Chains A and B, each alone.
Chain A
Amino acid sequence: MLMGYSFADLGSIFAMQAFAGLSLFSVFLLMALGLAIIFGQMGVINMAHGEFMILGAYVTYLCSGFFSAFLPGLYAIYFLVAMVLAFVVAGALGMAVEWLMIRHLYRRPLDTLLATWGLSLVLQQAYRSIFGAREVGVELPEWMMGSTHLSETIDIPINGLFVMALTVLITACVFAMMFRSSWGKKVRAVVQNRTMAGAVGIDTERVDRYTFGIGCGIAGVAGSAFTMIGSTGPTSGQLYIVDTFLVVVFGGAQSLLGTIASAFSISQAQSTMEFFLSGSMAKVLVLLGVVGILMLRPQGLFVIKVRR
């Protein structure tokens, strides 16, 4: 592998691969954050997570159409508006779903899995009926495409940087919300002991609904961001679900820090292996590795040891 390349080549490749790994990391983390809140903190298995992401993507698509038709002057910044809208729309749908469905199922986690799978089928068909079976192309403002040219062989994609920045921002927000605000305390209290939290005056239903909504909203933002690197179609959401769950579970479901660590390790492993092996084999090996480690360490990488 190393033969035939000059040191300059190797250096720049190393830099590029590192960047590829990092951008994969931010993609994984962005996918997983919403789920980490919903699954890790609330214990709800949301199989429709991918569909919430695609909802964000469709919102972005609609926004792009709207701005180019009515506000062409502001087209350059439409993406920022779209992301906010994606958060709001996906979050609102999430809250509706929580109210109609999830709140009746907190004691039956495996049932939430089935019900949300049903929801994902319904959403897929709804997308297909509304937007057509074909994929839609989401156009990006010119400044977001392209790359900064650092040297002869090193190009840093701008949208990659954008996704990274977004990931950092959202992660920071989530952490601030969960660990620095009274809201986060309430969420954690409800997660640990629903009855007790209710008894001390926390409106658990409200906490649940908003937490679920925020998780879905983050999924929506992720979906919106992914229009820069992936496809938007009725079934595109399904592509993400296995990866997303593995990231969350691998990290130790209850630990947000674990989610970050696991997104990092899985993405680095994958992008390194992809470089040395064919794409298919790399994927298989990474998944096998994750499953293998989970078998040895079922609680995931990070886990709080509790006294039983």
Chain B
Amino acid sequence: MPTQNDFVLSVEDLAVSFDGFKAVDDLTFYVDKNEILVIIGPNGAGKTTVLDLICGRTKAIAGSIKFHGEELTAKTEHEIVRAGVGRKFQNPSIYETLTVFENLEISYPRGRSVFGALFFRTDAAVRERIAEVAEMIFLEDCLSMRAEYLSHGQKQWLEIGMLLIQDPDLLMLDEPVAGMSVGERVKTAELLNRIIRDRSVLVIEHDMKFVEDIAHKVIVLHQGKIISQGAMAKVKADPKVVEVYLGH
């Protein structure tokens, strides 16, 4: 199968196993520009493992992951991030003791080297960018609040904001609306639709309503393999999918 260089992300023949258990097997999919791709599937299907593989947290035993035509499998995590891949974790991972402002400031993509960080100054450009992102993630009024006091949904947004400030080409979100109220969910969908103009988004989600709202394309994963993919409507109708997942 020829590699498609015009895709943002091409994952081909990817496989990984843990002590003989194949968590991901022979996986191939592509993410297009300005596309929101959602991966769904039952627990243990290997969804999070796929994200781990792409962002370098887990090393594949076979296959390739190309980002803008560049091989990612040999790169370290921070190199992958610097190449333009952002990743949000399942449980919001933010710096609880710092303020919202500081959380964003520390994620600002300047001064990433040791000495860069040593001599990093928070200048006007940084402040401006932080304000901009804060507005995008609905937290412009909470900038000086310590992050631990945010609601669960706000923490999810903050983490997305910490990725956005780095302006990644591919954003990977692991269950972004888990624990959110209906209102927050709607706002999050809105947020994703807004940011998609400049980038692609890969989402893992269980919330079918939310998936229907945002997904351009859906992949259904089961036991490490793709059993169905395409538009949400098509996938929903697939009997295999109904059997393993939606039917429950």
Contact = CB atoms under 8 A, between A and B. Distances in A.
Q: Do chains A and B touch in the complex (CB under 8 A)?
A: yes
A134 interface: no
For chain A, what secondary structure do more than half of its interface residues adopt (helix, strand, loop), or is it mixed?
Answer: loop
B19 A305 contact: yes
B57 interface: yes
A306 to B, nearest CB: 7
Interface of B: 18-19, 23, 49, 52, 57-58
List 4 tightest A-B contacts by C-beta distance, closest first: A307-B18, A305-B19, A305-B18, A307-B23
A308 B57 contact: yes
Interface of A: 304-308
A304 B58 contact: no
A308 B49 CA distance: 8
Contacts, number: 10
A308 B58 contact: yes
Given A306-B18, A308-B52, A308-B57, 7 more contacts: A304-B19, A305-B18, A305-B19, A307-B18, A307-B23, A307-B49, A308-B58
Nearest to B21: A307
A263 B136 CA distance: 58
Nearest to A304: B19
Contacts of A308: 52, 57-58
Contacts of B49: 307
Contacts of B18: 305-307
A304 B23 CA distance: 16
Nearest to B18: A307
Nearest to A306: B18
Contacts of A305: 18-19
A149 B91 CA distance: 67
Contacts of A306: 18
A305 B49 CA distance: 14
Contacts of B19: 304-305
B197 to A, nearest CB: 33
A125 to B, nearest CB: 39
Nearest to B58: A308
Nearest to A307: B18
A298 to B, nearest CB: 15
B203 to A, nearest CB: 20
